[in-house]
């Protein structure tokens, strides 16, 4: 070994830098708390997505690639979320138990300093937010392969809440069990959606093994931890949480499997400059009613990102439509379009305007 190694000296410099970063972080959180107090005096919302976007954009521009952009973004994501939470503590509810994809999505979105509350159903997540027992909920709304998550859409029709954000999570399914041996598996448990997303794989590799739909992937993982003959399809987070072994990784039938989650709360954030607006509408009972709605959007130059219909419970053959448009309710174009839609619709509800997710690739569980 070389005696005159320079490593200790360089490490000393790294220690000095780390100490300076820590001092600056302490100063930063102090300033964020001060802004929090000023915002409380003015009764202003603590969350300012436009300001947050400006910070990321400024830092990425001045970085010039010296530090990997993606890492820089996630470090500052954690810093800003922690500073924001120092202004107002938040509890986030999700479909539990621990280690579901919703839990994983929550941690990616809100960072590690937030308190998380697992609940048994998506409906309960909405109920807790509506009652104000938690500040936010995170719920899956659609999957790139299986389409809409109906229980989430139906809960929007039942509860008065607002959408505050969205995020996309790349989903990779693992077949797991206690021993890690496929021969031990007599039943495969999971949530309906992952079972459907791995249908072909299961048919091919475990043709005689029955599947068992349960409330969540986290519950399936918990069942596999308690019973050596149960296999579960679950997230990477579930493996460490429940001390399970991987039988086969990535058993989803299609690549690019991504789930879009919505963050729900009591109020939507202000404009960020790149936003989405969601509406729930009912059509008049007359010919061409849907066409009239689409014409309004087209005439106002509004980009419709998504339309989905759901039957109204208890009213046979009656439907409500979920619409996602690009833009914020404070944008003139969206404001004008919504005013016109209100006139044309039998039911109109603004579900919220919120910053669009632009970092879907950053949220890959393969790169946690």
Q: Which range in 47-55, 176-184, 292-300, 308-316 contacts ligand PRE by CB under 6 A?
A: 47-55
For tokens 């986290």, name the residue. 218
Taking the C-alpha atoms of residue 208 and residue 293, their distance in angstroms, rounded to an integer, is 49
Q: Is 51 in the site for ligand PRE (CB under 6 A)?
A: yes
- Looking at 59, 60, 72, 80, which residue binds ligand PRE (CB under 6 A)? 80
Q: Is 52 in the site for ligand PRE (CB under 6 A)?
A: yes
Beta strands in the chain (DSSP E): 91-95, 115-119, 136-143, 147-148, 162-170, 174-177, 187-190, 211-213, 230-234, 245-248, 258-265, 275-283, 304-311, 319-326, 345-355
Site for ligand PRE in 135-194 (CB under 6 A): none
* Residue of closest CB approach to ligand PRE: 83
Furthest C-alpha separation in the chain: 88
Please report how close the Cβ of residue 269 comes to ligand PRE at its closest, in angstroms: 8
Q: Which range in 49-57, 93-101, 296-304, 347-355 contacts ligand PRE by CB under 6 A?
A: 49-57
- Looking at 77, 83, 238, 302, which residue binds ligand PRE (CB under 6 A)? 83
Joined tokens for residue 190: 């999971």
Binding-site residue total for ligand PRE (CB under 6 A)? 10
- Looking at 19, 22, 32, 329, which residue binds ligand PRE (CB under 6 A)? 32
Is 84 annotated to bind a ligand? Reply is no
Which of 59, 312 has the CB closer to ligand PRE?
Answer: 59
Residues 245 and 23: beta-carbon distance below 8 Å: no
What lies within 8 Å, CB to CB, of 33 at 6+ separation is: 86, 87
Taking the C-alpha atoms of residue 127 and residue 347, their distance in angstroms, rounded to an integer, is 22
Is 340 annotated to bind a ligand? Reply is no
Q: Is 344 in the site for ligand PRE (CB under 6 A)?
A: no
Please report how close the Cβ of residue 272 comes to ligand PRE at its closest, in angstroms: 10
CA quadruple 364, 365, 367, 368: dihedral positive or negative?
Answer: positive
Q: Is 78 in the site for ligand PRE (CB under 6 A)?
A: no
Which of 32, 169 has the CB closer to ligand PRE?
Answer: 32
Please report how close the Cβ of residue 300 comes to ligand PRE at its closest, in angstroms: 30
Is 87 annotated to bind a ligand? Reply is yes
Torsion of CA 171, 67, 17, 88, to 10 degrees: -40
> In 3D, which of 136, 133, 46, 140 has the Cα closest to residue 92?
136
Q: Is 35 in the site for ligand PRE (CB under 6 A)?
A: yes
* DSSP bridge pairs for 142: 148, 260
Is 52 annotated to bind a ligand? Reply is yes
Residue numbers of the site for ligand PRE (CB under 6 A)?
A: 32, 35, 47-48, 51-52, 55, 80, 83-84
Q: Which amino acids are annotated as binding site for substrate, given as ranges?
A: 11, 28, 39, 48, 52, 83, 87
């Amino acid at each position: 070994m070389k005696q005159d190694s320079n490593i200790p000296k360089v490490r000393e410099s790294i220690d000095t830098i780390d100490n300076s970063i820590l001092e600056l972080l302490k100063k930063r959180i102090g300033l964020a708390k001060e802004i929090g107090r000023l915002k409380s005096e003015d009764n202003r919302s603590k969350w300012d997505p436009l300001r947050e976007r400006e910070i990321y954009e400024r830092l990425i521009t001045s970085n010039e690639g010296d530090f990997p952009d993606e890492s820089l973004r996630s470090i500052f994501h954690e810093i800003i979320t922690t500073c924001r939470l120092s202004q107002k503590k938040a509890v986030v509810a999700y479909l539990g138990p621990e280690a579901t994809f919703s839990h994983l999505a929550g941690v990616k979105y809100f960072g590690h300093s937030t308190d998380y509350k697992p609940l048994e159903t998506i409906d309960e997540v909405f109920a807790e937010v509506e009652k104000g027992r938690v500040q936010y909920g995170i719920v899956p709304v659609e999957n790139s392969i299986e389409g809409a998550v109906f229980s989430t859409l139906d809960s929007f029709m039942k509860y008065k809440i607002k959408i505050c954000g969205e995020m996309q999570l790349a989903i990779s399914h693992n077949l797991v069990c206690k021993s890690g041996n496929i021969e031990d598996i007599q039943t495969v448990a999971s949530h309906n959606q992952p079972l459907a997303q791995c249908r072909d794989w299961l048919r091919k590799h475990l043709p005689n093994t029955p599947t068992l739909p349960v409330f969540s992937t986290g519950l399936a993982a918990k069942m596999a931890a308690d019973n050596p003959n149960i296999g579960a399809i679950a997230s990477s987070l579930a493996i460490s949480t429940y001390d399970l072994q991987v039988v086969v990784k990535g058993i989803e039938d299609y690549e690019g499997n991504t789930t879009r989650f919505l963050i729900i709360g009591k109020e939507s954030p202000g404009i960020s400059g790149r936003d989405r607006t969601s509406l729930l509408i009912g059509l008049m009972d007359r010919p061409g009613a849907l066409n009239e709605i689409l014409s309004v959007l087209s005439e106002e130059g509004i980009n419709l990102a998504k339309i989905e219909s759901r039957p109204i419970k208890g009213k046979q053959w009656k439907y409500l439509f979920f619409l996602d448009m690009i833009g914020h309710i404070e944008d003139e174009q969206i404001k004008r379009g919504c005013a016109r839609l209100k006139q044309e619709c039998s039911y109109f509800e603004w579900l919220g305007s919120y910053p669009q997710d632009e970092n879907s690739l950053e949220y890959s569980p393969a790169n946690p």
